[in-house]
Amino acid sequence: PIYYPNNLTYKNLYYFMFAPTLCYELNFPRSPRIRKSFILRRFGEILVLLSLQYCLGQQWMLPILRTLDRPLNQYSTLQNIERLLRLALPNHLLWLILFYVYFHSTLNLIAELLRFGDRLFYRDWWNATDLYEFWNRWNTSVHDFCKRHVYMPLVTQYGMNKLIGSFVVFAISAFFHEVIYCFLFQYGSSFFLSFYLVFN
């Protein structure tokens, strides 16, 4: 076991930076060895599923989007609804494939390479009966981080109401998810400009 301050090394820091977790531990759970067959299986899944995503986008979604020859506000409401419904199924499939590629294949591949023992990256969110349950289950890394470093300090140390603590966690999580999307889709400057105008 590692005890403080023996954990204050570059090796320990880099391990935490690359490990598939957001919560730091002095002693992370470790698996005994790296399984090569497991790595090959996860790597194969990533290649096949990303290729499938590309094909679905090219063959199913792109033809629908190419029929747009003018801005959406120049189409009738029924035409917009029709296009939205035609895009709904491929969009849903692409989202599910991306979820599996990232949360199952990629995170398990990284965990196996680092011999990281905790492999619970998501729980059965498809069985959730309400939105609260869904958010708790679909990304356990972010959920555990928010619970440990935001919710519990607000409720136990600052005496905040549990409902208000949950709302604060939801707002912070939503903000950072939006920031990520802003940078991914490169509309960050407009987002931060609007954020600045709202709060000043």
Tens-place pLDDT, residues 50-59: 999 999 989 9
Average pLDDT over residues 129-140: 87
Tens-place pLDDT, residues 148-200: 999 999 999 998 999 999 899 988 888 887 777 777 666 655 555 555 544 55
Residue 71 has pLDDT above 90, yes or no: no
pLDDT of residue 178: 76
Closest alpha carbon to 24 in 116, 109, 102, 108: 116
Angle 107-23-20 (CA atoms, 0-180°, nearest 5)? Answer: 10
Q: Which of 92, 104, 149, 177 is catalytic?
A: 177
Backbone angles phi, psi at 116, to 5 degrees: -80, 125
Average pLDDT over residues 29-39: 94
Closest alpha carbon to 117 in 33, 1, 42: 33
Which residues, 6+ apart, have CB-to-CB distance to 144 below 8 Å?
21, 22, 23
Known catalytic residue at 177 = yes
Report the distance separating Cα 68 and Cα 162, nearest Å.
47
